[in-house]
Chains A and B, each alone.
Chain A
Amino acid sequence: MNAIEIRNLTKNYGEKQALSNLNMTVPMGAIYGFIGENGSGKSTTEKLICGLIRPNSGTIKLFDKDYHDQEIRSQIGVLIESPGCFPNISVWDNMKIQAANLGIKNENEEIRRVLKIVRMEGSASNKFKNCSLGMKQRIGIAFALLGNPKLLILDEPINGLDADGMRIMREVLIDITKNLSCTVLISSHILGELEKIATHYGIIRNGKMIKEMTAEELEKECPTYVAIKAKDNIEAKRALEKRYKKVIEENDELRVYDSCLTKDVVSYLYSENILPTYVQTKKINLEEYYINLMDKGGTL
């Protein structure tokens, strides 16, 4: 059973086509990293899932039920761009209104619990419009977590969060998706952060899903390699090429892509009396993978 299943979804604003038959599957309990450039259709997809805008064609299924099903929809937590709070009433009142909206029984503890998670208990009394950008973002996250939803849709939640805020965000997401109780669809540009928590990835470009994979697949696609720098790189390169098949020089370091142990490479070089000054086993991270993908015109 998948949390979200989208089949050839199309949406155009006037003559500009935001989404052109997008396909997407998010399994249960996954943290789905949704990656794409500015204006590639990420927010449009999220708004479509939440039923805020109407698609031109295509189907959206949540937990194998149609996305208009009331019982499912009442268990979605959402934070798209900015938290929809009333500016001139206090944060606490905003939360109370949202608690009523979700029909939560013992709302005061629930609100305190959620505010404690994002460490915002202290400033619950001041008006929403007086909070800084980072604090508003945390309140938005608290809003989405209210009434522990089964599906969490976050559009660039890390925007404006400081280091501490990002750490909280990571812990919260890992914690709530622990026993498959909640599924998270999160879009962000800070790929370093996303890499730490995402279990699945979806890369979208110009309204089309160009790559969908799990974290393991990403591991496989991002080969590890031995990075070496020596006093004389050319000589080292010649020596390496004698023994290893795939040796590429990139931004002044030699990369050996064959599957081999680093220490063997070092001892082999030492035996050729070449002294490497820099040795490390490295892996292409998500950011490099994404940039290569984009440069290659998107279809791998």
Chain B
Amino acid sequence: MNKANLNNLKSMLKVDSRRMFKTPLVYIMFGICFMIPVLILVMTSFMGNTSVVDPSTGEETVMETFTNVWQILGATSNAGMSMDLTSMCNINLIYFIVAIFACIFVSEDFRSGYVKNLFTIRAKRMEYVISKTITCFIASIVMLLLFFIGGMVGGAIAGLPFSMDGFNVGTIICCLLSKMFILLIFISIALTLACVAKTKLWLSIICVLGGGMLLFMMIPMMTPLDAGILNVIMCFVGGILFSIGLAFVSKFILNKTSLV
């Protein structure tokens, strides 16, 4: 990475960061990431454990709810796979939000035609991919934290217990860190798909959701509540390898296909 490439990357990073924080897209995403946990926690706990009696059959159905604030982050490693509400609507939703955000962010370049100005001046496609990965990663970290804070706020409003059995503050931090690095995987997948789909935003979003569904299952195992340093390192290595590998794939795609 000689000097010329470095300041090219710097200028590209400046473009992306300026573009990210000047358009309303990222602020909408931040809003969503903060509101979802609050909504989920408040709604379910508010509606929860009120038994609903069905007039025609007289059968009582109890809405099952969150019993502990930390459930928003996931379950401890020994809890089995469960398809119920709590395991679906927790922090892992953020992977889909981030993936969709990355798709929109890249496809906005192609739809507005700004790609003409970008790639006329930049012969190398690598900087574009690297800078997009970095800026999306930073934005997704902010989203993750907002989601976490939203969860705490929601839990407080709903009056859920903050008790921690089987894990402590340390493991929660490790869990968050490892979730952070897994974000890298989702972002680089989304970027590659967006480079393929270019202006066809609907194509990239559908593929990302499809692809995300497959990976979604393994996230709770990789990042349980009682995650240790080992989890963090594993996720870190996985994230970096994935992003570098897919970065080259995206570069290859951008080189080989016509951009306009």
Contact = CB atoms under 8 A, between A and B. Distances in A.
Interface of A: 47, 50-54, 67-71, 73-74, 76, 78, 80, 82-89, 93, 96-98, 100-103, 143, 153
Contact of A50 (B14, B15, B120): B120
Contacts of B119: 50-52
B122 interface: yes
Contact of A84 (B10, B18, B117, B258): B117
Interface string B101-145: 000000010001111111111111000000000000000000000
B117 A53 contact: no
Contacts of A76: 120-121
B82 interface: no
Contact of A54 (B7, B113, B258): B258
Contacts of A71: 4
The number of chain B residues touching the other chain, given as a range, is: 20 to 34
Contacts of A103: 7-8, 10-11, 14
13 contacts: A50-B116, A51-B119, A52-B115, A52-B120, A53-B260, A73-B120, A83-B113, A84-B116, A84-B117, A88-B24, A101-B15, A103-B7, A103-B11
Most buried by A among B113, B119, B122: B113
Q: Which 6 A-B pairs have the closest CB atoms?
A: A84-B113, A53-B258, A103-B11, A100-B14, A50-B120, A84-B114
Given A68-B123, A71-B4, A89-B22, 9 more contacts: A52-B258, A54-B256, A70-B4, A70-B8, A78-B120, A85-B112, A93-B18, A97-B18, A103-B10
Interface in B241-260: 256-260
B31 to A, nearest CB: 17
A88 B23 contact: yes
Contacts of A86: 19, 23, 108, 112, 114
Nearest to A47: B260
Contacts of B19: 86, 97
A100 to B, nearest CB: 4
A86 B4 CA distance: 28
Given A50-B120, A68-B123, A84-B117, A100 B8 contact: no
Interface string B6-34: 01101110110011001110000000000
B112 A102 contact: no
A53 B259 contact: yes
Contacts of B260: 47, 52-53, 80
Contacts of B12: 101
A87 B25 CA distance: 13
Contacts of B8: 70, 74, 103
Contact of A69 (B108, B120, B123): B123
A81 B18 CA distance: 25
Given A87-B112, A93-B22, A70 B123 contact: yes
Nearest to B22: A93
A154 to B, nearest CB: 12
B5 to A, nearest CB: 8
A73 B11 CA distance: 14
Contacts of A98: 117
Contacts of A69: 123
B189 to A, nearest CB: 25
Given A52-B260, A80-B116, A84-B114, A73 B18 contact: no
A53 B121 CA distance: 14
B258 to A, nearest CB: 4
Nearest to B108: A86
A102 B259 CA distance: 19
A100 B19 CA distance: 10
Contact of A100 (B11, B23, B113, B258): B11
Contacts of B118: 101
Interface in B196-231: none
Contact of B11 (A51, A82, A93, A101): A101
A58 B116 CA distance: 22
Interface in B77-117: 108, 112-117
Nearest to A151: B120
A74 B114 contact: no
B24 to A, nearest CB: 8
Nearest to A53: B258
Given A82-B113, A100-B15, A103-B7, A73 B122 contact: yes
Contact of A96 (B18, B113, B121): B18
A103 B7 CA distance: 8
Nearest to A92: B22
Nearest to A76: B120
Contacts of A78: 116-117, 120
Contacts of A51: 119-120, 123
Nearest to B14: A100
A88, A96, A103: residue with the most chain B Cβ atoms closer than 10 Å: A103
B116 A74 contact: no
